[in-house]
């Protein structure tokens, strides 16, 4: 039986350098404590074992240059031989790169591919990119996330300075995202915005989901959410929509569509009507009808807006009539 090996036997005190400013504390710890399980890192944060400037912090805290981080003694998980990434997956991810610039690359992520490993998955987009020759020596970090079953534009930073700049745009709202989705039912043309607040819930069995509640709710855990919609076409029992999220809540577009009585096709988490699932089966629908179609952001040097588009998948041609 292999034993864990100590990474450090004493408390570490580490000062955040300038080039790490703006990074989330959980991501920073994962990069610094390689070999320590993600679950252990999040447990340290929850229990207050990790301190920033002698204070507890949450996992989403963004560090600042000069922050003093206290890291407790931790152990590495038993050493394992890193599994090799299948060549087919690596080629698939390489082919999905659709644009790149100074310090960033953009992919048209395929549906069914996770953005990172974990929860039983060995590989995600990030792990594959870090193994690609030419990229393996750069800093590969997610700018934002997409659900595993959502296809479309995924933005990756290849420089720490660019990651900070792009994260700043996410926080300030200057990064714009537009999604295309196909939903069940008839979407009311007059409905152009949905502002249900979103709150986490746990189903029987422990599955975590998000639930839409009134925007005026006083529930403590609820977060305000706003999505703008445009009806592109009504195709019989399906509607083709453009969705522009203003906020970035977990599963926001999916939850808002379901709350309007028009769940996204292929959404097993929020499409609860079994009859709709049978309709999907009869139509040969085998994926989530949500695609991150367009993303734009400002260049740091001159303020010009860069706009990236990802071609619509075949599903939009067969059901939506896209050309």
Within this chain, do residues 70 and 191 fall inside the same structural domain, yes or no? no
Range of the domain at 27: 5-76
Pair 69, 16: CB distance under 8 Å: yes
Contacts of 3 (CB under 8 A, 6+ apart): 78
Within this chain, do residues 191 and 254 fall inside the same structural domain, yes or no? yes
Within this chain, do residues 307 and 226 fall inside the same structural domain, yes or no? yes
Within this chain, do residues 159 and 293 fall inside the same structural domain, yes or no? no
Q: Specify the 3-state DSSP secondary structure of 238.
A: strand
- Residue 87 confidence (pLDDT): 87
Is 257 exposed, middle or buried, given 0-12, 13-18 or 19+ CB atoms closer than 10 A? buried
- Residue 3 confidence (pLDDT): 46
In a domain, 253, yes or no: yes
Within this chain, do residues 95 and 55 fall inside the same structural domain, yes or no? no
* Bridging pattern class, strands 151-157 and 208-213: unpaired
The whole model's pTM is what? 0.79
Q: Which tokens hold the place of 179? A: 């999604």
In a domain, 81, yes or no: no
Within this chain, do residues 289 and 210 fall inside the same structural domain, yes or no? yes
Instruction: Tell me which of 76, 97, 121 is where a domain ends.
Output: 76
In a domain, 323, yes or no: no
**Average confidence (pLDDT) per 10 residues, the chain, 323 residues:** 52 85 87 83 93 93 92 72 80 94 94 83 86 75 93 93 90 95 95 96 84 92 96 94 95 97 96 94 94 95 92 88 63
Pair 254, 281: CB distance under 8 Å: no
- Residue 136 confidence (pLDDT): 60
147 given a catalytic annotation: yes
Give the separation between CA 73 and CA 53, rounded to whole angstroms: 18
Within this chain, do residues 137 and 38 fall inside the same structural domain, yes or no? no
Q: Which tokens hold the place of 284? A: 């040969």
Within this chain, do residues 194 and 314 fall inside the same structural domain, yes or no? yes
Instruction: Tell me which of 26, 41, 76 is where a domain ends.
Output: 76
Within this chain, do residues 186 and 290 fall inside the same structural domain, yes or no? yes
Task: Give me the number of domains the chain comprises.
Answer: 3
Active-site entry in 26, 60, 102, 147: 147
- Residue 124 confidence (pLDDT): 87
């Amino acid at each position: 039986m292999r034993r864990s090996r100590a990474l450090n036997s004493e408390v570490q005190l580490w000062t955040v350098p300038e080039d790490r400013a703006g990074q989330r504390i959980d991501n920073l710890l994962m990069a610094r404590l390689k070999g320590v399980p993600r679950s252990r890192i999040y447990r340290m944060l929850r229990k207050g074992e990790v301190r920033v400037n002698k204070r507890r912090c949450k996992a989403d805290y963004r560090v600042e240059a000069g922050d003093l981080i206290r890291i407790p003694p931790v152990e590495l998980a038993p050493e394992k031989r890193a599994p090799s990434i299948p060549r087919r997956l690596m080629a698939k991810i390489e082919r999905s790169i659709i644009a790149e610039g100074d310090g960033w690359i953009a992919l048209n992520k395929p549906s069914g591919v996770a953005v990172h490993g974990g929860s039983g998955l060995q590989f995600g987009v990030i792990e594959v990119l870090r193994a690609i020759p030419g990229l393996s020596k750069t800093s590969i970090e997610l700018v934002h996330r997409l659900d595993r079953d959502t296809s479309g534009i995924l933005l990756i930073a290849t420089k720490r300075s660019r990651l900070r700049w792009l994260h700043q745009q996410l926080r300030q709202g200057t990064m714009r995202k537009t999604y295309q989705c196909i939903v069940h039912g008839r979407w009311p043309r007059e409905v152009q915005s949905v502002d249900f607040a979103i709150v986490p819930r746990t189903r029987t069995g422990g599955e975590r989901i998000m639930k839409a509640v009134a925007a005026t709710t006083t529930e403590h855990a609820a977060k305000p959410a706003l999505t703008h919609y445009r009806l592109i076409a009504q195709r019989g029992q399906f509607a083709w929509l453009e969705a522009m999220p203003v906020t970035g809540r977990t599963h926001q577009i999916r939850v808002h569509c379901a709350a309007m009585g028009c769940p996204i096709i292929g959404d097993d988490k929020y499409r609860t009507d079994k009859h709709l699932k049978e309709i999907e089966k009869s139509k040969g629908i085998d994926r989530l009808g949500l695609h991150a179609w367009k993303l734009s952001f400002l260049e740091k040097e001159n303020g010009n807006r860069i706009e990236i588009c990802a071609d619509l998948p075949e599903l939009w041609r067969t059901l939506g009539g896209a050309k």
